[in-house]
């Protein structure tokens, strides 16, 4: 039995979609059913004794977290540590979703090139969201120690046809008849991730757990392959949106530096993560543009693009 928190989020919905057609028995929980900051409720649910818990719950309002630090800490740090403790007591495999924001500061340069972040790279954070996600990871590692019974999955630039995300925002802005052009940051570099593909990776991980694979890693980095700036991402959204008929009119998209669009929270300038370990579980990880085209053209979710 697999339990999943955060069922109404992007990843939670994609996991449900895949698990419906799988051999696995699962149960999802929305925030109204399971607030992970409620320790008594967590204990009550985990007493049912699932085999695996996937924690897809998080406080993800990056800018608002600067004002709501305590709420971010409760959800992303304290509650995660408590879940880890309760899972360890019951011998439940704990899979936790984390973020590229743990690499907010000072990318590493080697031979004049920026180095991709590895799973064992030192975390470098700044800002409430990044700090609380890092603390959540540290709590898990402290609780489980050398136990193989946990996995931290760091991902980046997550999107789907559900909820609030970058492609949906870009489509909404491009559809605004009063807007003649769009300005998008060009000097923040990362990897977009289709939530469906992340869900697929998690099912591969679950399959390996059931096979009792002794070579599984405690930390994985998963995203689509290829790298992009937010500007690159926005241009691709428009190109594919026009091709799929989601958009009717092409508009000018202008690249701007980070300094031209100040935000309360600091964003990573270079958060490209090394995917080596993930390729051990998924032989082919599609390029981000390939999956963006699939996502925007998916007949099962196309209504989600009526933004």
From residue 54, alpha-carbon distances to 4, 51, 134, 193 in Å are 5, 10, 18, 18
Count CB atoms within 10 A of the CB of residue 39: 15
Radius of gyration of the chain, Cα coordinates, nearest whole angstrom: 19
The per-type count for the chain, helices as H runs and strands as E runs, is 10, 14
Asked whether 291 and 200 are in contact (CB, 8 A), the reply is no
- Catalytic machinery residues: 129
3-class DSSP state of 161: coil
3-class DSSP state of 4: strand
CB-based contacts of 23, cutoff 8 Å, min separation 6? none
> Which of 94, 233, 95, 227 is closest to 154 using CA atoms?
95
Q: List beta partners, residue 60.
A: none
> Which of 107, 263, 110 is closest to 189 using CA atoms?
107
Q: List beta partners, residue 28.
A: 4
> Which of 289, 286, 203 is closest to 11 using CA atoms?
203
């Amino acid at each position: 039995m697999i339990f999943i928190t955060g069922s109404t989020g992007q990843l939670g919905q994609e996991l449900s979609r895949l698990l419906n057609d799988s051999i696995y028995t699962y149960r999802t929980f929305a925030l109204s059913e399971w607030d992970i900051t409620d320790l008594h409720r967590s204990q009550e649910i985990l007493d049912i004794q699932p085999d695996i818990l996937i924690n897809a719950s998080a406080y993800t309002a990056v800018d608002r977290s600067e004002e709501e630090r305590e709420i971010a800490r409760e959800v992303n740090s304290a509650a995660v540590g408590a879940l880890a403790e309760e899972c360890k007591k019951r011998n439940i495999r704990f899979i936790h979703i984390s973020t590229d924001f743990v690499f907010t500061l000072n990318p590493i340069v080697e031979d004049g090139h920026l180095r991709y972040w590895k799973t064992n790279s030192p975390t470098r954070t700044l800002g409430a969201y990044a700090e609380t996600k890092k603390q959540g990871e540290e709590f898990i590692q402290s609780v489980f120690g050398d136990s193989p019974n946990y996995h931290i999955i760091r991902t980046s630039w997550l999107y789907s046809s559900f909820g609030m995300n970058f492609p949906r925002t870009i489509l909404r802005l491009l559809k605004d008849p009063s807007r003649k052009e769009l300005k998008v940051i060009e000097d923040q570099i990362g990897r977009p991730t289709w939530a469906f593909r992340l869900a697929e990776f998690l099912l591969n991980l679950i399959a390996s757990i059931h096979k009792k694979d002794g070579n599984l890693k405690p930390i994985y980095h998963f995203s689509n392959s290829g790298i992009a700036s937010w500007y690159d991402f926005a241009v691709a959204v428009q190109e594919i949106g026009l091709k799929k008929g989601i958009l009717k009119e092409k508009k000018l998209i202008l690249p701007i530096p980070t300094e031209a669009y100040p935000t309360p929270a600091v964003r990573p300038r270079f958060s490209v993560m090394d995917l080596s370990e993930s390729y051990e579980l998924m032989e082919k990880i599609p390029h981000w543009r390939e999956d963006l085209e699939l996502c925007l053209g998916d007949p099962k979710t196309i209504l989600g693009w009526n933004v």
